[in-house]
Amino acid sequence: MAKVLIVEARFYDHLNDLLLEGARAAIEAAGHEHETVTVPGALEVPGAIAIADAAETYDAFVALGVIIRGETYHFEVVSNESARGIMNLSLEGVPVGNGILTVENEAQALTRAKKDEKDKGGEAAKAALAMLALRERFSV
């Protein structure tokens, strides 16, 4: 049984609740344990995963959050840099699923977050578990 850490950037409570529901359901359906920690924003998610990974307490990680385009360039910075940080972790062999939504509006976020629609939280959890299985397959 794997232990999965869900790291969420809680900015939009109602949207995060939906993402968490999907991620937790997918992890539990696969027979694994999970815990959740909350960070201030999407930029802090990769750092929190790196800190937790260094502690060697968790087997896989799920990154969750919602970034909705605003009127400034900040959307691009947060979207790109959080994705880059998660990709860097992945390239280092950390099993992580990226469920940070980058959307134009709340309606898009709702569609992607709802478990009975696109279930991006659940998909991110499944991706993390798939990467964990791959790492275990190739471990010596």
26 is in an annotated binding site: no
74 is a catalytic site residue: yes
Give Cα separations from 19 to 9, 35, 57, 68, 74 (angstroms).
11, 14, 23, 15, 23
Choosing from 14, 32, 34, 74, the catalytic residue is 74
71 is in an annotated binding site: yes
Q: How far apart are CA 56 and CA 46, in angstroms?
A: 16
86 is in an annotated binding site: no
112 is in an annotated binding site: yes
User: Residue 101: what residue type?
Assistant: L
49 is in an annotated binding site: no
Nearest to 70 by CA among 14, 132, 12, 21: 12
Which residues are designated catalytic? 74
- Annotated binding residues for (2S)-2-hydroxy-3-oxobutyl phosphate, written as ranges, equal 71-72, 112
Q: Which residues are annotated as a binding site for 5-amino-6-(D-ribitylamino)uracil?
A: 11, 42-44, 66-68, 98
